[in-house]
Amino acid sequence: MANTKSAKKSARQAIRRTEVNKARTSRTRSAVREVEEAIASGNKDAAATALKSAAPLLARNAQKGALKKKTASRKVSRLSARVKAMSN
């Protein structure tokens, strides 16, 4: 257990940040799953709409530190390539 006042505060902050990051990550995973389900069903309009809502979530998570920047960028890139390939 933390002994100093500053260490106790750090522990409290870590708990709070963990909760916030869990919520953000969960919301993002759901958005990505929505895009993947739309791609699997073959509905290009739904996939494009879902991607439009998922991309900013991924970018915001990267900016806030819940995800690494390159991870978010890679996920958006791969999803958009799959949505784009649906028209072919």
Q: Name the DSSP letter for residue 68.
A: -
Query: Which domains, and CATH codes, for the chain?
Result: 5-85 (1.20.58.110)
25 contacts 61 by C-beta, under 8 angstroms: yes
Q: Is the pLDDT of residue 88 over 80?
A: no
| Banded model confidence at residue 1, pLDDT cuts 50, 70, 90 | confident
The residue ranking higher by pLDDT, 72 or 88, is: 72
Question: Can you tell me the distance from the alpha carbon of 9 to that of 19, in angstroms, rounded to the nearest whole number?
Answer: 16
| Among the listed residues 12, 53, 15, 7, the one whose alpha carbon sits nearest the alpha carbon of residue 31 | 53
Residue range 14-62, pLDDT digits in tens: 999 999 999 999 999 999 999 999 999 999 999 999 999 999 999 999 9
Predicted structure pTM score: 0.84
